Amino acid sequence: MKICFCLHNHQPVGNFDHVMDSAYNDCYLPLLEALENHHGILCAIHISGSLLEWLSLSHPDYIERTGELCRKSRMELLTSGRYEPILTGFRRSDAVQQIGDYSGYLAQISGRKPEGLWLTERVWEPQLPSILAEAGVSWAVVDDIHLKRAGARGMDLFRPCITEDSGRILRLLGSNQELRYLIPFSSVESVMEKLREMHDCGAGMVFYGDDGEKFGVWPGTCKLCYEDGWLDRFFSEVESADWLDPMLPSEAVRSEAAGPFYIPASSYTEMGEWTLHGPQRDEYDKLREQIDTHGRTSDSRIFLTGGFWRNFLSIYPESKELHGRILSAEPLVRRSEDEEALHHFWRSQCNCAFWHGVFGGIYLPHLREALWKELHRAELKALKAVDGYPLVLTADVNADGSDETLIVSQTQSVLIHPQSGLTVSELTFLHADGEPVPLGHTLSRQSEEYHKSIPGAGNDEGASTIHDDMASKEEGLADRVTIDRWRRICFSDLVMASSTDSSSWKQSAPEITHFQKSAVSSAMSITEAAVAFSGEFAEGKLRIVKRLTADLKRAALRARTEYSIMPGDRAGMEICLNLMTGQSPDRYYSVDSGEAHLMSEEGEFHGKRIEVSDCWRKVRTVIEVTCEADIWVTPLESVNRSESGYERVHQGAAFYIWGNADETGILDLDIAMHMEALHDS
């Protein structure tokens, strides 16, 4: 029986160097050494562009050793989008160019242009065969469940399968799910027994394709695979088995194929589950339970696919906003013909910060920041090349049915939502050298399925899959879950009764009124100095008239609101900023030049001026009120899971600046905000 191995190694754009170093030492290097030492093992490797660039700079010898194995025909490299995008999430022509570009880069390492592709997160859509064929790809890796959903059965799953789109043929290798769940978590003997069972049933070929991080990065697997010798023992067993014939996938894929099969839009099972939230997920779980209760075979579950990867763009508005901004930036980047701008643009598409499953994903601020920075760098280089400052673009960026206005000057980049309360989501300061500092990429907190059953703290050092039950990193996390009723962004107007306390505001309580879905009218005007917006918004009998101005010279915004509410009620604006961490002493806020407070510290103040200092990224944000006002401050912390357990993550801090309406129910509030560079003292 032919046996093919394929491993996928990836680290997101913007991941911390110490995380990359740890993954290299615990996984990538010892895995490469094991492949070098076992001459009878042949393996395909996919290395994402973000990881490969890091390896080229930090460990060039790794690249040389990989190339040597390829030249000896003991290894082959697989291609993909350049920096691990979900290919069908972006324009077809862009996907084709990325794949071609990356294939050319890999050919310089291996001496051979790859014909096989690792499909990012195995997110499949039916148009992919023609896209990949246009990019020079003749075969791709999917999971066997993709083929089962398309009707493949029995021995069809143990040979290549054919699919097509518009007459363009693509061969597929389906990774065997049983092996993916066994390796490396079961004993070597159990894995070999399963392989023997497949052989004895007449399987001509078995294909194993999975994350390389299973061999050293996943919890407990470094000790299991290398200290305890699991991987060496397994490779030795495969080499000594005369009934197994290790083969590179590019050779195996030329075997007699089954098909054609037409795969519906799908990914692996867990991905489909993660895209379902709320009542949808409840109904899905009931259906799955019914299948199990009635004794159906596991194959019956293949028809219960769950949701679709693009659902994440609906679930997380921050994800769709970034996605829309990337699409809106492409014409400018293309027009500039700037190669550096293009690669920054491609890096901004790295998939990891767009979604959430087991890994932190969109909940990790440093990954979101990295993509925003790459997008800004792409735009700034392109604008410089075409002499395009300032850029003012009005379009429905986030596909919500209403236009937003993007403003990019030489000092700031902001995205304004005229129909959503004249709020500002994207807020980025641009240093004089062009280095972007995203400050507005807070994450509004969502209800996640696992919030229903967050466990207590624990400590399990054993090897485990990311699908096993996980412990919390601290006690009491279930009590810290907060679901935001409005987006925690900048210049959100909030009204509440005078009796409402700060704890209700912190918890986004239902008795608080926001105006993010309450537009009555809006207008925009542009001068050489500024872009000005005006709008009227209403919720029942509560009305506000608002004016927002974005400066085109300075990194500055100003909002003026007149509230018509109940006499004595409280009204004000909420400004949310993300300085990446709440605990670092080099990031803090103060009111009226008073005591410095960490970004994780709550507070209630009275004053006119707030300074928020980020000494790490060298920027200070100053918020000034024309008249003294009350100021509430709270950290925005999510409770989410990652591969290492449930944890609390700082998503930013909210500043609510408010006053009380007079006896006629009127309150005027005028807030100016500017960002400025901090210089070393």
Q: What is the mean pLDDT of residues 150-160?
A: 96
Q: What is the mean pLDDT of residues 229-258?
A: 97
Q: Does 681 score more than 70 pLDDT?
A: no
pLDDT tens-digit readout, 70-84: 999 999 999 999 999
As a whole number, the mean pLDDT across the chain is 95
Cα separation, 79 vs 120, in Å, equals 10
291 pLDDT band (50/70/90 cuts)? Answer: confident
pLDDT tens-digit readout, 111-134: 999 999 999 999 999 999 999 999
The per-residue pLDDT for 260 is 98
Domains of the chain: 2-267 (3.20.110.20), 315-460+470-677 (2.70.98.10)
Closest CA to 597 of 611, 609, 616: 611
Q: What is the mean pLDDT of residues 256-281?
A: 94
Cα separation, 367 vs 352, in Å, equals 8
305 pLDDT band (50/70/90 cuts)? Answer: confident
The helix, strand and coil proportions of the chain, stated in percent and rounded to the nearest 5, come to 35, 30, 35
The per-residue pLDDT for 599 is 98
The per-residue pLDDT for 464 is 57
The per-residue pLDDT for 217 is 96
143 pLDDT band (50/70/90 cuts)? Answer: very high
pLDDT tens-digit readout, 311-339: 999 999 999 999 999 999 999 999 999 99
Closest CA to 456 of 428, 475, 482, 480: 475
Q: Does 137 score more than 80 pLDDT?
A: yes
The per-residue pLDDT for 600 is 97
CA distances in angstroms from 94 to 85, 91, 349, 359, 374, listed in the order given: 11, 5, 11, 27, 17
More confident residue, 305 or 355: 355
Cα separation, 378 vs 35, in Å, equals 38
Task: Give CA torsion, residues 609, 612, 613, 619, to 10 deg.
Answer: -100
Q: What is the mean pLDDT of residues 157-180?
A: 97
Q: Does 295 score more than 80 pLDDT?
A: no
Q: Does 459 score more than 70 pLDDT?
A: no
Q: What is the mean pLDDT of residues 451-474?
A: 74
Half-sphere exposure of 38 (CA within 13 A, CB side): 22
The per-residue pLDDT for 301 is 76
% of the chain beyond a pLDDT of 90: 91
The per-residue pLDDT for 456 is 83
- Please tell me the least confidently modeled range out of 42-46, 291-295, 418-422, 535-539: 291-295
The per-residue pLDDT for 460 is 56
The per-residue pLDDT for 108 is 97
Q: What is the mean pLDDT of residues 193-215?
A: 97
Q: What is the mean pLDDT of residues 139-168?
A: 97
Q: Does 299 score more than 80 pLDDT?
A: no
The per-residue pLDDT for 136 is 98
pLDDT tens-digit readout, 640-650: 998 888 999 99
Cα separation, 47 vs 70, in Å, equals 13
Cβ atoms within 10 Å of 511's Cβ, excluding its own: 10
The per-residue pLDDT for 462 is 62
Under 8 Å between Cβ of 386 and 380: no
465 pLDDT band (50/70/90 cuts)? Answer: low
Closest CA to 52 of 101, 90, 87: 101
Q: Does 666 score more than 90 pLDDT?
A: yes
Q: Does 488 score more than 60 pLDDT?
A: yes
Give pTM, 2 decimals: 0.96
The per-residue pLDDT for 278 is 87
Q: Does 400 score more than 60 pLDDT?
A: yes
The per-residue pLDDT for 538 is 97
Cα separation, 364 vs 443, in Å, equals 9
